[in-house]
Chain A
Amino acid sequence: MRITENILSEKYLYNQNRINEKKLKIQTQLTNNSKLDKLSDNLSDSLDAINLDSQIRRIETFQKNIVNAKDYLNATISSLENVADETQSIINQVINSDNPLNAVNFDTITQSVKGSLQAIVQSLNEKRNGMYIFGGTDFSDSPWEIDANGRAIRTSTTVTGEIKVQLTQNIKDTMNVTGDKIEDTDLIDTINDILDSLEAGTVPDDTLKGRLTDAYNSVVNLQSLNGDKYNRLEDIDILLDKQLTDTQDLLSKKQDVDQAELAVELQYQDYLLQLSYKLASTILPKSILDYL
């Protein structure tokens, strides 16, 4: 093969251009700290990175949902605690009413039970973020009210609606205690019946006392169930945290650069470039003319 001066110079320029292209790519990657500046840098890794980024955003959304759900559950547990406290107070008043020495204080006991009932209704009508905690999903009116006789009654509002929240891609859970769950405890009816009994001047009988204790236990049980649910949310949150870390790690592996490796590669390319200059300066100017 005849080797002409043009072949030598073209080859030299071609090789030098390729080295410079590589250097430019490394410099861009180092500056952006990302291997994936655009889709075509590595199509498969870019698409993976988009998917991983979507997963990260989804996990972060679920974590925000959990924060809101936990806040709501906290408010629920706190309200139930108030209800349980007031119920305990009513239990004490009922026990007091059974004491013959307190026969003269019957009216005071009745008023105290009425006060506790009002406090219970107030707790059951608690709002969080403008939502009645035990009001289901219908917030047009408060779920309970105290009538003219001092009895707690349900308003016409439906209280069975569940507020469901997506906690993970596959787990959707109810974050509210619906009003019917409160009704299932028989607490309100029992207190109303106790008030009827007290106002009639009768000491609540054992059946009523038993109903009140059962209702108290049910409220405590509800509180405990919600505590469990709160703990479960924390567990899910921890799980999501781990998922988030793993996914971020995967994304980092896909797109982040190994700066040390790139710096070495850049140095190597620079070395090749200098070698190319040196070779070119030695070979290109030589011809028979130098020896004539």
Chain B
Amino acid sequence: MGIGRLLDISVRTMATYQRALDVASQNISNAGNADYTRQKVLLSTEETQAGIGMGVKIQDVQRIKNDLIDTQIRKYQSSISDAEKRSTMLQQVESVIAEPSDSGLAAYFNEFFSAWDQLTTIPNSTQYRSTIIQKAQRLSERFQEVFDGFSDVQATLQKEASVKTEELNNYLKQINELNQKIYESEARGIKASELKDKRDVLIDGLSKLTNITVQMNEYGAAVVNVGGIQGADQNVYNEFEVTFVNGKMRIVSKNDQNATIILNSGELFAITDLYSNKIPEYKQNLENLANVFIEKVNEYHMQGHTLMENGSSSTGIPFFGELDTNGNVIDAFVNGQININSDVLNDPKNIAASNVADNDGNGTIANSIAGLADAKVSELDNLSILESYNNILNSFGTEKVISDDKIESNELVLQQLSNQKASYSGVSIDEEMTNVIKYQRSYEAAAKLVKVVEEMMDTILQMV
């Protein structure tokens, strides 16, 4: 073996460990970057020549990554984002409902029925009649507030859907661009670890918006599928927009309106589900309750007789809404507003408390209306008005509690998975510094070898 080969080995070794130190320094400088995937230098022996070792070489610089954990993290992240968005929006609804409190609908219902109950003790009282109107107005206003609250939340959801869809489009566009860059870089034999990290961050962000699947193709491109529709690869990316079909919110491809994203997790799922299903369901339930309430009060009130005016009482006046020319009650409940009959509003004497004509002291009708507080109503599945309202609160509250519980339980799993990911792909400063010392020692040893070769060369030269 010639002395020159010793120099070759030393130089190669020094270069190898210098590169290894580069990788270690890259890792160390990104130790605080949670999105960074650590790189590992794989050293191997240089192929022997004629049975003589040729030193060390870098076989590969690996990006230490576990795709299975990433997939799991995205799945749970998507689920948490769904629950978080749901919980946030439902919290807005919760504050509008304001239960349990003195400003909740339950309290206003109670006050309304209580006012009727009081009228039974002094059935000819105009003062108590005015109280009934006042309580009915407050109940009506509260209903309106709750309804408007629901509508406001829907309007917010609509705006959020547009913003989030735009975000989705941006993610897909950027993923497509990074796919191209990664392909071009690796085709030239240059590792694209940092670009891949950037792409992972985008995919993670995407998973918060919607349910996605990601597969790597032969060109190293991430093929992203968004709820059954192709989102992006290295060649194309899809753009989506918000549309409405029969009042239901859909996220569809701009190129093909029939290509609808089948959402089952992520913020967009929460937004579309709340907008299209949950909020309308709560509104519908409240509307049904209001209609039954109006119908039952009117049923009694129209049978009742008002206070006598000019020697006789009147009958057939609804408490809520107006009578059309056919004698049907109309406009009692419009856009969340319970409308009190104009005759009743203008003159409290038109409140009908008696079930007998010209009988101002009769409070039978008032008693029947007050009894609606506890009466089981067939239209409400044999529940009272207040029980039915409680059922609505229960179904709403359950949704909120489920969302909150889901956040808590999934957060724990996500925390575990993130730890696993960090354990696998994260940078340990202790480990990197140990590597630095190891590489530095090897580098120093190789340099020493050069020195030895130099001395050997000197010895040979002195011999000449």
Interface residues of A (CB under 8 A from B): 1-7, 10-11, 14, 36, 38-40, 43, 46-47, 49-51, 53-54, 57-58, 60-62, 64-65, 68-69, 72, 129-132, 135-140, 158, 161, 163-166, 169, 172, 175-176, 255, 287-289, 292
Contact B361 A292 (CB under 8 A): no
Q: Which of B6-14, B294-302, B392-400 contacts A (4 or more CB under 8 A)?
A: B392-400
| B432 (CB) vs chain A CBs: closest residue | A288
- Any A CB within 8 A of the CB of B447: no
CB distance from B105 to the nearest CB of A (A): 10
User: Which residue on B lies nearest to A67, using beta carbons?
Assistant: B121
Q: Does B134 belong to the interface (CB within 8 Å)?
A: no
Instruction: Tell me, yes or no, whether B192 is within 8 Å of chain A by CB.
Output: no
Contacts of B431 in A (CB 8 A): 2
Q: Which of A46, A72, A292 lies at the interface centre, i.e. has the most chain B CB atoms within 10 A of its CB? A: A46
| Most B CB within 10 A of own CB, among A166, A255, A287, A292 | A166
Note all chain B residues with C-beta closer than 8 A to A54.
Answer: 106, 110, 373, 386
Q: Is the CB of B397 within 8 A of A39?
A: yes
B433 contacts across to A, CB distance below 8 A: 287-289, 292
| In the complex, residue of chain A having the shortest beta-carbon distance to the beta carbon of B117 | A61
Q: Which of the candidate stretches B94-102, B199-207, B217-225 sits at the interface with the other chain?
A: B94-102
A131 touches B422 (CB 8 A): no
How far is B311's CA from A175's CA once the two chains are assembled, in angstroms? 26
Task: Write the nearest CB–CB distance from A177 to chain B, whole angstroms.
Answer: 13
Q: Does B426 lie within 8 Å of A43, measured CB to CB?
A: no
B105-141 CB mask vs A (1 if < 8 Å, else 0) is 0110011011001101111110000000000000000
Report A-chain residues with C-beta under 8 Å of the C-beta of B420: 1
Given A11-B419, A161-B361, A166-B367 contact (CB < 8 Å): yes
Residues in B with CB closer than 8 Å to A292 are 433, 437
Which residues of B are at the interface with A, using a C-beta cutoff of 8 A? 31-32, 34, 90-91, 94-95, 97, 99-100, 104, 106-107, 110-111, 113-114, 117-118, 120-125, 308, 311, 354, 356, 358-364, 367, 370-371, 373-374, 386, 390, 393-394, 396-398, 400-401, 404, 415, 418-420, 422-424, 426-431, 433-434, 437
* Interface contact B124-A47, CB-CB below 8 Å: no
With contacts A40-B401, A51-B390 taken as known, whether A57 is within 8 angstroms of B110 at the C-beta atoms is yes
The answer to whether B373 and A2 touch across the interface, beta carbons within 8 angstroms, is no
Q: Which 4 A-B pairs have the closest CB atoms?
A: A137-B361, A68-B121, A4-B426, A137-B362
Complex Cα–Cα for A138 and B357 (A): 9
Contact B106 A131 (CB under 8 A): no
Least CB distance, A256 to chain B, in whole angstroms: 12
Q: Which of A61, A137, A288, A289 contacts B360 (CB 8 A)?
A: A137
Q: Which residue of A lies closest to B403 (CB)?
A: A40
* Cβ-defined contact, A7 with B397, below 8 A: no
Write 8 A-B pairs (CB below 8 A) sorted by A numbering. A5-B32, A5-B429, A39-B100, A50-B99, A61-B113, A64-B118, A132-B361, A138-B358
Q: B415 and A165: CB pair below 8 A?
A: no
Per the bound structure, the CA–CA distance linking A141 and B32 in Å amounts to 93
- Whether B423 and A3, one on each chain, are in contact in the complex, defined by CB atoms closer than 8 angstroms, is yes
Docked pose: A132 CA to B419 CA in angstroms: 83
Contacts of A1 in B (CB 8 A): 420, 423
Known A-B contacts A10-B419, A289-B429; the reply to A38 vs B363 at CB < 8 A is no
Which A residues touch B364, using CB under 8 A?
Answer: 164
**In the complex, A4→B422 CA distance in Å?**
7
User: A38 and B95: CB pair below 8 A?
Assistant: yes
- Which residues of A are found within 8 Å of B397, using beta-carbon distances? 39-40, 43, 46-47
Contacts A2-B423, A11-B419, A161-B356 given: A131-B122 contact, CB under 8 Å?
Answer: yes
Would you give the shortest CB distance from B410 to chain A, in whole angstroms?
A: 13
Q: What's the Cα separation between A147 and B363 when bound, in Å?
A: 32
CA distance A140 to B412 in the complex (A): 75
CB distance from B6 to the nearest CB of A (A): 32
Question: Nearest-CB distance from A50 to chain B (Å)?
Answer: 5
Bound-state CA distance A36–B390 (Å) is 16
The smallest beta-carbon distance between B361 and chain A, in angstroms, is: 3
Cα-based distance from A132 to B362 in the complex (angstroms): 12
Task: Decide if B118 touches A7 in the complex (CB within 8 Å).
Answer: no
Cα A57 to Cα B31 in complex, Å, equals 63
Distance between A178 CB and nearest chain B CB, rounded to angstroms: 10
Find the B residue at minimum CB distance from A42.
B401
Of A38, A135, A163, the contact of B94 (CB 8 Å cutoff): A38
Select one of A40, A64, A131, A140 contacting B311, CB under 8 A. Answer: A140
Q: Residue of A at shortest CB range from B115?
A: A61
- Whether B430 pairs with A163 at a CB distance below 8 angstroms is no
Pick from B113, B363, B404, B422: contact of A7, CB below 8 A: B422
Q: In the complex, what residues of B have CB within 8 A of residue A62's CB?
A: 117
Q: Are A53 and B122 in contact (CB under 8 A)?
A: no
Select from chain A the residue with minimum beta-carbon distance to B433.
A288
In the assembled complex, the Cα of A129 lies from the Cα of B124 at a distance in Å of 8
- In Å, the complex CA distance between A255 and B113 comes to 25
Residue pair B117, A166 in contact (C-beta under 8 Å): yes
A133 to chain B, nearest CB (A): 10
